[in-house]
Structure 1
């Protein structure tokens, strides 16, 4: 059995311990073909940092993740790896694509991870195949009921000490009512956030899992966003249904910008 862990503070820097699925299991190879591994480099005037986040493919050139993953001082460069199971080796199934640009909601705030969602535009379109596929996401009127078990996947540590997992891990967590999150997070917004977790504290996500999808019935309903202190429960996920109109609008803009003669086309 995997070791249990209390999650770290949401205020820790992502590279201090990138990504943990705790109390979960290794997924069947390529059974989550929508998963994206984000390698993020932050270039400062005199130093460089690197860390990782999760994400998921919703279009041939579009990946959703958490805004706080790319909200850093300095020059940020993001490379997305699709079709991966073991990120420590160059699998034939992998596609590594630089991110051209990204967009966050106008009212995104790093203080409390408000509107914690980002849409990444890939420099080239992914080749869709059995190992790389898009996932549907919830519409504006879709919600999952309290008590529903859904899955979260990510690469990263499985214990408080050690190193990140090379292979993709997965854990099942329940949708909770809003009360535990309201009590713990003063700026919890039920319309744009979800309260998720394992009340027993045996299963949880961690920092580098940020940006990964909360998948219910083969559809993404949430995005891993934040926790607090050393508590394994509860966690706050971004509620995708609230942002569905914004996502659709940005995807249309991406498509328009690819048309010949558009300002950003080559």
Structure 2
């Protein structure tokens, strides 16, 4: 692994650059992340996965780069899963009616790396499936705060995939840590996290999964440095609350019945 000081570029945690990884974590207690979503994304030539999280019965948040620029893809969301290779009775597989990528998302800078998916039908709330509260507008977590992130996939850089959901705790870093490495880091809309000992991380394929701090979704797995695992950048959910609310309002309007005919 190259030393962090030698790194000059960053990459989004794109799903086809390698299977999803939670490095240095542990298997979660089954269904202890009831808001966790597994996204299966497919087109004619590729099948890959991302994470996401349920914020309302008809809406999942994820990372824009999971689908941005991909042609003719279909997305299926699985909720209530622990082992994604089994057909667990708790699982709900739902079609994504459509998705909305932030209009100012940039593939080049990873700015505004956020996407909202509309589920059809709506998810049924059960012991294994429920939504998570988001951080409020402009709410921030202080450096040193311990947060958690989860995902499915490889548990080491060269290891094999994990069929069960894994979690790891990461520490919020000062913005300066990421500003020094990533020229496009924006402290208003991004959060800097990581494990300085280089033992724990979310990595490629965990994109879109939630960063949970103090019981709320504060971040979305976005990108990290090339050839290393520290530090990592998460989309800051609180910055996007107005946009999320507006898109959820549009979702609700889509569910309204058509007005009666005037004939």
Give the SS at the match of 2:49: strand
SS at match of 1:208: coil
Which residue pairs with 1:28 in the alignment?
Answer: 29
What stretches of structure 1 move > 3 A for 4+ residues in a row? none
CA RMSD of aligned residues (A): 1.5
C-alpha contact (below 8 Å) 2:23/2:157 kept by paired residues: no
d(CA) in 2 for partners of 1:78, 1:259: 24
Q: CA deviation at 1:12?
A: 7.4
Report whether the alignment pairs 1:120 with 2:117. yes
CA distance in 1, matches of 2:245, 2:134: 11
User: Alignment length, in residue pairs?
Assistant: 252
Whole-Å Cα distance in 1 between the matches of residues 248 and 32 of structure 2? 26
Q: Establish whether residue 157 from structure 1 lines up as the match of residue 158 from structure 2.
A: no
CA distance in 1, matches of 2:250, 2:119: 14
User: Could you tell me how far apart the structure 1 residues matched to 2:52 and 2:181 are?
Assistant: 26
Q: Which residue of structure 1 lines up, in the alignment, with residue 230 of structure 2?
A: 233
**Correspondences of 1:68-147 after superposition (within 5 Å):** 68-147=65-144
TM-score, scaled to structure 2: 0.92
User: Where in structure 2 are there 5+ consecutive unaligned residues?
Assistant: none
Deviation digits for residues 214-241 of structure 1 (CA, Å, limit 9, x no counterpart):
0011100000000121121000000000
Unaligned runs of 5+ in 1: 1-5
Distance 1:257 1:33 in 2: 26
> What is the alpha-carbon distance in structure 2 between the residues aligned to residue 11 and residue 62 of structure 1?
23
Distance (whole Å) between structure 1 residues aligned to residue 29 and residue 182 of structure 2: 35
TM-score, scaled relative to structure 1: 0.91
C-alpha separation in 2, matches of 1:198 and 1:112: 23
Helix, strand or coil at the partner of 1:153? strand
Q: Distance in 1 between matches of 2:14 and 2:165?
A: 22
The whole-number CA distance in structure 2 between the counterparts of 1:243 and 1:88 is 33
